[in-house]
Every structure is written in structure tokens, then in C-alpha cells.
Structure 1
């Protein structure tokens, strides 16, 4: 049936077709005790038919009849299986619970997911023409509740923590252009400009495979504001961004959306052209402009040979008039996009993200994954959507690029929603903070991260005091009631207190404070020298040296931070320190009993995600009981049953904590850390910073997180232009120097 639905309704969202087939299949198998009760299958057929008509956007009698015939045909095929041995019956489809609920018509503008099925239909304009969905919402909601209850009853048997599963699923087989055009229908003319681009949705529910992310939450985004979305690891921040990017939340179609989520696919397209092509509608409009110009020229040539009074002349004049109107709209849209400045703006953005003029001409397939992620970010900045969604953008960038991005976003003209755990970045970029927790969203207007954190703590303390005060008063009243309820002399006073107790508002217990602790083992003392690099040079090929004349001394009290642009050799320095690479020339000496703990940037590659953290540690670092491994994981914030779950179901931050727990089992004297803050939430980064400060051994760290560098490192080394040298100043002074250099080069701001 799904194939036939796609043929009848081109572009129908696969979620709706799956839902329709599953709903009908489930209804056909439902047992009804009361013979006089309405048929579940008939109810399902009516609801699905109305749903599909709404999704098609075509309310003509012909289309309605075709869809009804398809539904009846499918029901007939289900009925034809009656009489077959139930054990041998092969059902072609099974009811499937949706990862996200589709609330048809629950919002003022209807579900935007349905809008995708109709191509370029503007649902808000459609509503203004009084074209409304005729879905029987009560029937649909009743059927959804039945299916949901049945599925949840099954899931109660085994608890699964799958909040991060959606994030690992591949995007549907859709090209970038197809997805962009489906999510962002083209809006020509002045109507779209007159519409408000504020987003206000009073009630949204989001869940993934039975794991509730948001319940009856309010989403409010004022146009032009920059929102920082914060919350602990595994709470569902990335899931919310993905739901917004796919319009699974009912965002009006005239608001364009772009989400930086996955690296671009590599091909022969030059990097600069890949950025230009990212604005799909600009590319489409330019092609359409060229096509219409040619058509007008052909019409003009044909018209010149005809008399003004002929029918062909009138027809051609009418065609020319229509093409002139369309061409005028295209010119206006291209002018609005500032299409003539596109190439210089794209080049400027790429330069700010570390692409030299030469590298901008390289084919995208020649770049590594990290650089392709930068290209994805450059494409989003170039497109300037009305709603820009960024998920941990600093994870893919070095300090110079983060400095550029922070400065660029501060003048961004549209709305930004960014998930980040980088305090310094949020302090510079965010105008407001959204705190996601307890299946809801709390708003802190006009707050950067520091003011949000202080306000949140004050709110929490006040709520705790108010709750404790009320509980004490309730206990006092209840004690009096219990003592004198049946005392005739005190009965009136007891009744008065009962009424007072009933009138007291019921306060929810405040959330327990979310605290994470990291603990590295004690370090045995070693006499210096510990690690020394003298006149070290290295190159992956003999004709292209990457590093030269590197002199670095690491002691047990060292706290060294290494910064610099990506590709300059920072990770290579760490691999030389840990003997993973051998120098081309020079000398690296180490203490004979030295143990080095290395935290790799891509540490997840070293974990077996198909097993649990406890099983992995028992196999890799044998010698302890499961209970000892669980206690050890608890020292890094992996508590309860989390250590027994398959690691592929853990969030990125939880996987990082497992990697740190494994690292500490080696009892290192020196910790060599490559981007240790990636994926950790703010509480996790605070815990790591505190643990590193207390650690009695040495620390060498490559990091882009300004706060962690400030809190942990006492000396800053810059890796750039083939060498490593000590920087006289702190990380803020380094950022200031980078900004001044960028201003001298003249990197453009968004228009």
C-alpha cells in the first residue's frame, strides 16, 4: 500500500504512510467483545482516509475518491487472510509506534510534517483561505492512545535507554538539495516578508522509542534572538534540534530552517562552490532566471513577425506578461538574498573557518571529516536561514575558528538555537538561555551563561526552602489533626486545620542537585626529568616537514595547554609525547618507570559499543569484580544501571566518561589529553577541571575550551607554522590577538 500511496500522493512523508498502514493493520486484528460496538477497522479507515486527504493538500472530489479506494483496497487485502491458520498467517505489515507523535491540527497552523507532503504548499496561507483539515481528531487520538498503551505495556518488560539512538540513524535516502527544498518551501512575493518569524508553540511532546524527551513543553523563540540550549548529557537536546530541523514540531513554512548536523559528502566540487550551492533556492532561482530570459527572447523574436491583431500575438503577449511577473519576483528574491555578493561572502566565511584561498579551491573529497564538518557549518552560515540550529559547533573547531564564529554570530540577523557546553562561547553569543530538564524547557531571558547559572541556583535554593517550609508546616498540622481528630473538645480546631491543609497548594519536590565527580588515582613520585623533547622534527613525508625545532619539558607539576589552528600539528605533538610516532630528528627522553595516560580526540573508536562499560573494562583491564568496576565508573558519573547498558545507547558525554574511567585504571603519571571537553556537559567539564587540578601528576592538554584552559593550565603553548612556542599571556590574550589579526585581514560579518 505504501508504494501506491506514494504514487497517489507524490512526496508523502514516509512517517505518515507507515502510520496509516500500521494503524489499519492493527485495527484489523483488534478483538471487540461487544458486537454492537463500532467496528475498529471502520473507524481506522475513516481516520486514515481523512489524514491522507489532509496530507495530500488536494481536497478535490477526485482525489478524495482515489484515496478512499486505496484504503478500501488495502482493507480488502487484510480481510482476505481470514480463515487462514493464525500460526501460518504472514502479515505484510505490523503496527509500529511512531518515534514522534503527529498531532494533526493540534496547532494553529496544523502539523508542518504534513506540509512536506504537499510540496511547496504554504499551510499558513492555506488556512487563511479557510481550507482546514477534516480529520476527526477525537477518533484519531483515541486510536493513537490504544496503540500507544499496547506498545508501552510491551516495553515495560525491558527498560531501554535509547535517547541517543535517533542521533546515530542515517538520514533518509535524500540528497541535500531534496531535503532542503522539502523542509524550506520557496516563498516568492511580499507575503512571506510580512509574516512574523517569531516561533511560539504552546504544547509539544517529543519521545524516542519510549524515552520521553519533552512533555507539554512550550517553545518560544523570538526572531533575532540567540538562544543557548543547555542541559545535562542524555537529556535530549540534540533530539529536540533534529525534531525542529525536520519540522516534526509545527513551525510555519515561511520560516526557513537549517541544521548543522552531519559532515557534507565529499565529491569533486570545490569547497567554495559547495558553499555557494548550499543556498539551494539561490541556485534554483539563478537557473530559472536564465531559462525565463531565454524564453522571453524567443517570444520576442516570434512576436516581432506577427501582426498585433492576430490570435497568436495575443497569446504570446499573455505568456510574456506572465513570464515578466515571475521574472520580477525572481529578481526581487535574488536582490533580497544579495546574490551578487554571494561569492565574496562565501569566501570570507571559509577564510574565517580556516580555509586558505588555495584550500577553498580543493575538491570536498580531499578534506578529512573534521574539515567537512567546517564546510557544513560554512554552508549554514552562508545560507542565513531564519532559524539556525547548531549542535556543539565548537567540537569541530580550534580556538581561532571558535573566535571567528563567536564574533560572526554576535551580529547574525536571524534566530539562533545553539547547543553548547562551552561557557565562554555561550557568554559571548547567547542573548537568552533555555534550560532543558525534567521534560520541560525553562527560559532565562536576557541572560548569558554566567547570569543563567547564578539565577538557576537561586531559583533552586528558593524552591527547596519553600518546599521544606511547607512540608514542615504540613507535618505540624497533620500531627495536631492525628492527635485531636477524635477529641470532642478539640474537634473544631482539628477540622479547621484539616481545611487549612486541604487549601495549601501542593508543591512538587525540587529536583535533586545534579552533581558529577571525577577522580584520578594517586601518583607515585618520580625524580625528574620526566619527559623531554629536544630539537624534535617530524613529517609524515620527508619532503613536507610538519614540525621542527620543538623543545618541550613535562614534569609531574606541569599544566600545559596547547592551542593553534587545526592542521598545525597539535595532535602530532601529543602522539610524539606518547611514543605513537617517532621523530624524524631530535631526541625524546622519558623516565624509565613513566606511565602515560592518553585520551584521544576520537576515543569512542577504542570502545566496543556493542557491550556494556563494565564488560568492556573487565575484558580490557581484568583483575577486579563487576562491583569494583561499577564503583570505579561511579567516580566518573556513570552510576546506577548505566554501566550495564550497551555503550551504543549512551550519550556522547557518557561515552567520554567511560573513556576517562578506563584511562584512570592505567594509574598514569602524566595525562595527555586531546580535546577532553568534547561531548561533556557543563557539570562534567567542571568535574574534569576540578579532578585535573587535584591530580598529582602532569597534564598536557590540547583543547578549544577557553574555560577549561583557564581553569587547568598554567602555561600556554602555541602550535603554528611548523613549530611550538610558549605564549606570553593567557588564553584571553591569545583570543584577542587572533581577533586583531582577523580584523586586519578583513573577514566579513553577516549581512
Structure 2
């Protein structure tokens, strides 16, 4: 710290912040010792500002201190900056001995403090410096926590592990008069170094239901946008409550119905306050009755009683405003719609599987009614009856909804607007998915037409310029055309998204019988899951198995493939029959620390790397993606790797359990076409109505332990039947 002593800096700092801690002053002196020149005043202010303001200094005083220190230090203007120096002799970069000296330094072998000259002992007490740094770090963390709380109004419910990560305004009845629209302009979002959105605009009108769609990719682009909204990285107004449902809730001993009721933190707060006020009033009555109080004490007790009674009346009014007496029936109706029977609603949440806990998280979100509800693939863990109920429930959703889904039928029923995320931007379309599809196709057609017209116009101008540019009579006109050409806006041809294709190889021929089940019964202990199941499958079978969750659909698939053995009855399979089974939890079957190419080579050896990459390319895993670790791939890409693993086995039968859960719409279309052209048999379990309608020719209903063929002709008929039964 040349040109100024420690004592002078000490005096300036204490003049700026009287009573500042000695540790902070020493920390600043140490920083200035290690930073002999600072290029800009703003750099110094960025360091000193937060420290001194936390210590009690005003912003004006801190700014003045930084300005004075800037003038006292050398190197703060162009004259003080290091200048370029001419080398004394040429340096041959190719020579080994010309390499920078720092590149030759062996770690631990050189005293780095002596490289620039003589070693100078530090004047800073290291223990005091550590203490000051810890104190400053604690203050900064406290400030960040305070800012985060003020920004999102998070409710601390850590003592309740069933509480969703949710940030509603505590008293949501107090925000009724405020605008709940969301409009944020010109923001960027990145994930793991990958730019997801650039100069994007987010516009959410209160009361509209938005479907967020786009192609899957590394970084979970759509999910990342939802997560940024939920934690308010995007500046959503503080009075707009947000709730993001993206993962299953933690299981505890709390009954399911109570877990849903406790999600409404404001109602729980009012009920707790009511109990506290009632207890205090009862205590006052007992005190007034038991004691021989004087007039002054009685008057004081009466005032306190009046105050508590008035507050209790206010609490009663707020509970009435939010219809607290109807909360339990509303929570029960939501749970019933999502498949929880009366008995299941009283069970502890820890007794449910992951899929059912995801339904519980969804039920809690629907019960809370936030101003902005964010749902990430809500239908993935639902069966067709539950999807039908959810569609009907969301159609009357009173606030704003933003949902990520690849189920076109679901978006057609629920969405009033479509938000298309692509090319690092967001485009908005009015209407449901079908209307979006038509509008987008028409918009692209117009863009292509406009582009082609501009190309023709430019060509016409250029031809005129080339022909008459050097003609004395037409030179002026040519120059005019040149100016017109330069001022024309540049239009780009609308990009063509890469086409996704799936392809399953033709299996070897087999003669009947292929696969038969005869009077098959299966269960665990005393519980029978399936009874007397009988049906026959051929090489051209396209069978959809539908029914409520927990009815035994996955169990039936495992009986078909031999993963489970029946308690009674027979399962007959052709001796040369090869199955390929796609599980709901297919990701667990992949090796996360291997690349798709190396994983396939380890499981199905015999091909070279180029052949494996070509095979993966048939399922959309092209280029360097096939050489990345599987753990770095998105959910949709992992699903494509799983399908490539199925295809390499050249199966006669594809047994698919919820194959569309992590696929984007283009991939679902590609899978649909691949299954339609596949010459083997297909058995499907899925909630995607459009997918089942396109692939299957037979519908089997699994319900109540019985598997029976549906007499209708389509999934739509089955769905109508379910909705009628629910009504």
C-alpha cells in the first residue's frame, strides 16, 4: 500500500463509520495491502460497500470514502496503467526453453511470494482476519436470506417434512384487489453452461391456462423455466403466490387427508391462532374467578379479555371468508378424484409408493389454490380415470396455470393458451394444442412465402444493378437500387426442426401359438391381485391394457414376460419367443456412469463403435450425444437410449409400460409410427389417449382383479364410460 500509511486509512475508515470493529478495519487494510492498484472506483466500492454499510455506514459516506481512496492510490488513471514493453530479443515460441517460466514451476517446489521480488511479511493477524471474514460472511448470508424472504414470502415449515416447497402469501385474502398478471421482459436463463432462453418475455394473464411445450434436450429446458419462476429468479411480483409441483412429497406418519389440509398454511395458521386465543380466554376466566382481584386488576383483565375476544372474532371472520368449514370435504373430493378411496385417505403418507405420493403432492397443490400453479408433467403418474378427472377439474381452475405436458389430448382439454419454447425464445399462441398446431403451420407457411418473395425481390434488384451499374444513362437508377437493397430488412428462412425417427427391426418369423395365458391367478399372501386371466396373443397383436392404478396392469406385464410366476394357471410361450420389456423405471436399468455406446457394447457385444452409434442414431441419439455419460442426458434422451436397447435385441414382442412418460411430442410421434410399422406384437400400458388410439387395435380393462376385453372400439369410448361412472 504505497503512498498512504495504515494510520491514514484507519482514520478515513473510522471517519466514515464511527465505532467500526477493529477486525473489519484490519481486514480492509489487509485487502489494500494485497491490492496495491485498483483500476476503477466501482471495484473498490463493490468490495467496501457491503462491508461498511453492514457496519453502520451510510451509502453517501461510503461512496465518499471510496472516492478519496481512489485518488490516494496510484494506477487509477491511464497514466498509471502498465504499459507495453518492447522485448530485448525475439522469442522463438516453438523452443522449449522459451516457455513461460510459470509453466515450469513445480507445485510445492517454488515460493510464489518471492517470484515478483523479495518476500514481505504480512502485517495482518491471520486469526483476526479469519474472524472478520467469518463475521462478514455471516452478515452477507443473513442479508441474502432476508432478501430471499422479502422476495418470495417463503413460509418456514421445516418442522413438517410433509410440507411442499411452496411460497404462498401468508394472508392470501389480503391480495384480492391487486393485479395477479405476470409480465417479465428481456431475461436470460442458462443451465449447466447451456443457454436456454435469451432476451425472452414471460407473459401470464391471470385466469388463463398455459401449456408449455417444446422439444426435450439436455438441461430439461421447460422444467428449468418452471423452477426459475418458482424460486423467483424471474421477477414475478411479490404478491403473486406460486406453487410448483415437480416431485413426490416425503412420506411420514401423517394421514393423507391431513397432509392435504396442512398444505394450506394460512388456514393452519388461523386454526392455531384460534386455539391459542381460546386457551388464553379460558385462562383469564379462571384467573378472574379464582382470585380476589381489586378493581384496577379486574379492569385490566376485562381490557385484555376484550382485546382477545376482538382478535378471536377477526380470526373467525377470516376462517369464514376462506370457507374453512368446507376444507375437509374439498380435500377429500380432490383425493377421491385422484384415485384415493376413503380408506386410503386415512393411511399414513409413508405407506404409499412414489407414484401415489406424487398424486398427494398434486392434491395438496390443487387444494392450496395459489395465484400461479406450476405443474411439470402432472399426468405421468396418473391412470386414464385420474387424467379424465384432472382435465375436468382444471377446466374450472380460477387462477393462472402453467403446465408442462406432452399429452396432446390433455392440453386440448385444459389449455387456453400455448407457450412454445424453442430457439432460446418463447412464442405465444391463443387456443389449445390443436389450434396451436394449425396456427403454427400457417405461420410457418407465411414466413416461408415472405422469405421467398424477398429473395425474388432482392434478385430482381441485383439483376438491375448488375446490368446498368456501369451504364452512364442508368447509373443514377442503379445507385438508387443499391440504396434500396441495403435498407431491406434481413429475413431468415424459418428453421426446420430435426426429424426424430424410431425404427425396430423385423423379427424372425414364429409359428403359433405365440403367447397364451390360461386361468392365471396371482397375488401376495392372502391378497389376490389378478384372478382367472385368459387370453391369446399373436404376432400382429396391438393390445392396450387400461384401468386404475394399483389394479395389476404392471403385474400382468411381468407375468407375460416371466418376471413373476402365477399362483395358479398356465402361461405358455413359444420356445423361440424374445421379449423386450420397457419398464416405467427404465432409467434404473441404465448405467449412469457410462455412455450409451459403451453401455450397449457391454450388454450386447459383437459390434464396433460405428455400428452402435448408427443404431442409436435411429432413435435420435446422434452425434456426440452417444458418447456423453447417460447421467448428463435429459429424461427424454434416456428413454430413447432405452428404446435403442430394446431394438438391438430384435424382439418378437414389445412389452411397454408407460413408454411416453419422458418423451416430447416429436418423439411420441416417432414411436407411434415405429410401433405401427413393427411386424411383431405390442402390449401397451399408457395414459396417453392419443398414443393408445393410434397404436392399439384391442383394449383390455384391468380392474377389480379381473382382465376383460372392452367392447367399445376406441380409447375415447372407454374414457367417456369412465367419466360417466365418476359422475
- Please indicate, yes or no, whether the TM-score normalized by the shorter chain is above 0.5: yes
Q: Does the 8 Å contact 2:521/2:530 carry over to 1? A: yes
Partner of 1:255: 240
1:264 deviates by 1.1
State the Cα RMSD in Å. Answer: 3.6
Q: What SS does structure 2 have at the residue aligned with 1:379? A: helix
Q: TM-score, with normalisation over the residues of structure 2? A: 0.79
Superposition map of 1:279-318 within 5 A: 279-299=264-284, 310=296
Task: Say whether residues 1:381 and 2:363 are aligned partners.
Answer: no
Partner of 1:528: 512
Task: Say whether residues 1:622 and 2:610 are aligned partners.
Answer: no
In 2, Cα distance between equivalents of 1:114 and 1:436: 33
Cα 1:115/1:588, change in 2 over 3 Å: same
Partner of 1:508: 492
Cα 1:294/1:709, change in 2 over 3 Å: same
In 1, Cα distance between equivalents of 2:549 and 2:114: 62
Task: Say whether residues 1:40 and 2:43 are aligned partners.
Answer: yes
Superposed CA deviations along residues 237-296 of structure 1, whole A, max 9, x for unmatched, are: 111111111222222232221111111111111111111111122112100121123334
1:481 deviates by 3.5
Cα 1:113/1:462, change in 2 over 3 Å: farther
In 2, Cα distance between equivalents of 1:254 and 1:414: 14
In 1, Cα distance between equivalents of 2:472 and 2:706: 91
**Aligned residue pair count:** 627
Cα 1:86/1:176, change in 2 over 3 Å: farther
Partner of 1:473: 457
In 2, Cα distance between equivalents of 1:727 and 1:347: 30
Q: Does the 8 Å contact 2:164/2:263 carry over to 1? A: no
In 1, Cα distance between equivalents of 2:152 and 2:537: 61
1:119 deviates by 8.5
Cα 1:49/1:477, change in 2 over 3 Å: farther
After alignment, is 232-241 or 313-322 more displaced?
Answer: 313-322
In 1, Cα distance between equivalents of 2:343 and 2:162: 26
Q: What SS does structure 1 have at the residue aligned with 2:330? A: helix
Which of 577, 580, 585 lines up with 1:594 in the alignment?
A: 577
Partner of 2:447: 463
In 2, Cα distance between equivalents of 1:581 and 1:432: 45
Superposition map of 1:488-499 within 5 A: 488-499=472-483
Which of 322, 344, 365 lines up with 1:337 in the alignment?
A: 322
Cα 1:374/1:293, change in 2 over 3 Å: same
Partner of 1:185: 169
In 2, Cα distance between equivalents of 1:370 and 1:33: 60
Partner of 2:422: 437
In 2, Cα distance between equivalents of 1:739 and 1:29: 73
Q: Which runs of 5 or more structure 2 residues have no equivalent in the other structure? A: 1-26, 67-110, 132-142
Which of 186, 194, 199 lines up with 1:216 in the alignment?
A: 199
Partner of 1:398: 383
Q: What SS does structure 2 have at the residue aligned with 1:264? A: coil
Partner of 2:18: none
1:591 deviates by 1.4
Cα 1:574/1:482, change in 2 over 3 Å: same
Task: Say whether residues 1:696 and 2:674 are aligned partners.
Answer: no
In 2, Cα distance between equivalents of 1:400 and 1:245: 29
Partner of 2:567: 584
In 2, Cα distance between equivalents of 1:709 and 1:703: 7
Q: What SS does structure 1 have at the residue aligned with 2:570? A: strand
In 1, Cα distance between equivalents of 2:433 and 2:163: 37
1:581 deviates by 1.1
In 2, Cα distance between equivalents of 1:297 and 1:536: 65
In 2, Cα distance between equivalents of 1:240 and 1:717: 39
Which of 652, 657, 660 lines up with 2:643 in the alignment?
A: 660
Q: Does the 8 Å contact 2:169/2:240 carry over to 1? A: no
Superposed CA deviations along residues 517-568 of structure 1, whole A, max 9, x for unmatched, are: 1111112221111111111111132x22211111121111110000011111
1:712 deviates by 0.3
1:717 deviates by 0.2
Cα 1:35/1:46, change in 2 over 3 Å: closer
Superposition map of 1:152-231 within 5 A: 183-187=167-171, 191-231=174-214
Task: Say whether residues 1:645 and 2:628 are aligned partners.
Answer: yes
Q: Does the 8 Å contact 1:205/1:213 carry over to 2? A: yes
Superposed CA deviations along residues 292-312 of structure 1, whole A, max 9, x for unmatched, are: 2333444566679899984x6
Partner of 2:87: none
Superposed CA deviations along residues 150-179 of structure 1, whole A, max 9, x for unmatched, are: xxxxxxxxxxxxxxxxxxxxx998966887
The higher radius of gyration belongs to: 2
Q: What SS does structure 1 have at the residue aligned with 2:244? A: strand
Q: Does the 8 Å contact 2:153/2:168 carry over to 1? A: no
Superposed CA deviations along residues 683-737 of structure 1, whole A, max 9, x for unmatched, are: 1111111111111111111111100110000110001111110001121111111
Q: Which runs of 5 or more structure 1 residues have no equivalent in the other structure? A: 1-23, 54-60, 73-82, 94-110, 123-170, 744-751
Partner of 2:724: 740
Q: Does the 8 Å contact 1:113/1:250 carry over to 2? A: no
Q: TM-score, with normalisation over the residues of structure 1? A: 0.77
1:426 deviates by 0.8
1:92 deviates by 9.1
Q: What SS does structure 2 have at the residue aligned with 1:662? A: helix
Partner of 2:259: 274
Which of 531, 537, 540 lines up with 1:554 in the alignment?
A: 537
Task: Say whether residues 1:117 and 2:149 are aligned partners.
Answer: yes
Q: Does the 8 Å contact 2:252/2:348 carry over to 1? A: yes
In 2, Cα distance between equivalents of 1:210 and 1:740: 50
Task: Say whether residues 1:355 and 2:340 are aligned partners.
Answer: yes
In 2, Cα distance between equivalents of 1:554 and 1:673: 15
In 2, Cα distance between equivalents of 1:550 and 1:696: 26
Cα 1:494/1:628, change in 2 over 3 Å: farther
Q: Does the 8 Å contact 1:380/1:388 carry over to 2? A: yes
Partner of 1:681: 664
Q: Does the 8 Å contact 2:256/2:346 carry over to 1? A: yes
1:515 deviates by 2.0
1:36 deviates by 6.4
1:419 deviates by 0.6
Q: Does the 8 Å contact 2:153/2:170 carry over to 1? A: no
Superposed CA deviations along residues 183-238 of structure 1, whole A, max 9, x for unmatched, are: 223137x6422111222222322212322222222211122211111111126111
1:601 deviates by 0.9
In 2, Cα distance between equivalents of 1:29 and 1:449: 61
In 2, Cα distance between equivalents of 1:47 and 1:511: 47
Partner of 1:409: 394
Which of 564, 577, 590 lines up with 1:607 in the alignment?
A: 590
Partner of 2:548: 565
Task: Say whether residues 1:232 and 2:227 are aligned partners.
Answer: no
Cα 1:695/1:377, change in 2 over 3 Å: same
In 1, Cα distance between equivalents of 2:550 and 2:686: 14
